[in-house]
Amino acid sequence: MNDKMKHTLWMLFALGLAVQFSAIRIFHLDLGPGWAALWPGLAVFGAAFLLSWAAELAQLEIPQTLAIAFLALIAVVPEYAVDVLLAWKAGTDPSYLPRAAANMTGSNRLLIGVGWPIILFAYWWKTRKTAIELPSEHGLEIKVLLIATVYSFIFAIKQSFTIIDTFILLGIFIYYMVCAAKMKHEEPELEGPAKMLAVVSRPCRILITIGLFILAGFVIFNAAEPFVEGLIHTGKVWGISDFLLIQWLAPLASESPEFIVAIIFALRANPVSSLGTLISSKINQWTLLIATLPMAYGISTFVAYGSFKGMALDHQQVQEVFLTSAQSFFALVLLANFRFAMVEALALIVLFSGQLIWQIAHTSDIHAGGTHPEYDKVRMGFAFAYVVFGLAVIMFHKGRRCAVKKMLFRKHANT
């Protein structure tokens, strides 16, 4: 079997996975609890491959940074769908407010605590290299993420998400996209189905690229809620707490597209695109996603009560936001020198796993909203550990300290 036939079959297989759940919904087929999570999950899996090919093709027309930004934006559509839905319901039902905050913080911590280390592990598995070196052009993503992270600590201080935050975070996101569009354009080295599609005429290739993005985005949006609901229902059958499901299981499901795409890039020995995808996804979630929450919540309260309200955060939610900000700060310090090494990946996953294992071990004692006296101490302990470790790296590692300064004040090439 020649390469063209292999690539064609692989494309048909991915397309089949992506569209099969739409057929199930059209014909209203009845699915059992386990299957109700499996089929939409396979659709998301297939769509992830379509996204990876679309992103590679897009790099022939636009800068890699902008292509990855679009990829990350579409890949986090499931997370937007879930969290905006929770924020909307919270406008009329206060019990959903802790769930919206839990889903947002859980998804952000998963990206860094699990996503970043996994792609380095996948890259090591493929090449036996123990570090990912980022080119200086990726300083834009790191700088924008640092700005968003610094601003995120304000949420914990004022204990709310408001429409003012929406406009500020939207401004940061727009700044990122505009700068990404000005980055230097380099021809990528394509392989697999993307290489096969690249040989067609330019107008046709552009239409194929746009079509893949649209199809993948539609599939992900269509399958996101059933995927999450199926997983949550299955988890409840197994006796797992509602808060734990909302914070970790639902985000794990909705984060799967960008995880899969990033792992695909890493296994193709393309670690820059792999890590860049997850960094860009983090920017999306740390700016645009949070920006949509007070907007959805405010519109919901306006429709129901005639007044546009901000999302007030209780004690536990403030702690969750602070812990998420602290983790982001520590990760950015590690990445400030544009190098992500194995010891740093292990540090991120160990700290994340420690907090998660404690939470799972005490899941029966943790009530709705994540309330538990001992868990409060553990949560804040890990938060301060992230901050202290980050500050220690800056203080005692001159190279990273200089890298942080350069990252904040350097100009990014646009030619």
CB 222 within 8 A of CB 75: no
The letter for the amino acid at 4 is: K
- Report pLDDT digits (tens) over 102-134: 889 998 999 999 999 999 999 999 999 999 998
The 10 Å CB-count burial string (b at 16+, else e) for 183-221 is bebeebebebbbbbbbeeeeeebeebbeebbebbbbbbe
Tell me the CATH architecture of domain 3-409.
Up-down Bundle (1.20)
SS3 call for 159: coil
Phi-psi group of 152: left, alpha or beta (phi > 0 → left; psi -120 to 50 → alpha; rest → beta): alpha
pLDDT at 273 over 80: yes
pLDDT in tens, 151-189: 999 999 999 999 999 999 999 999 998 888 777 656 666
Query: Residue 276: pLDDT above 90?
Result: no
Calpha distance 125→54 (Å, rounded): 25
pLDDT tens string 371-387: 666 778 888 999 999 99
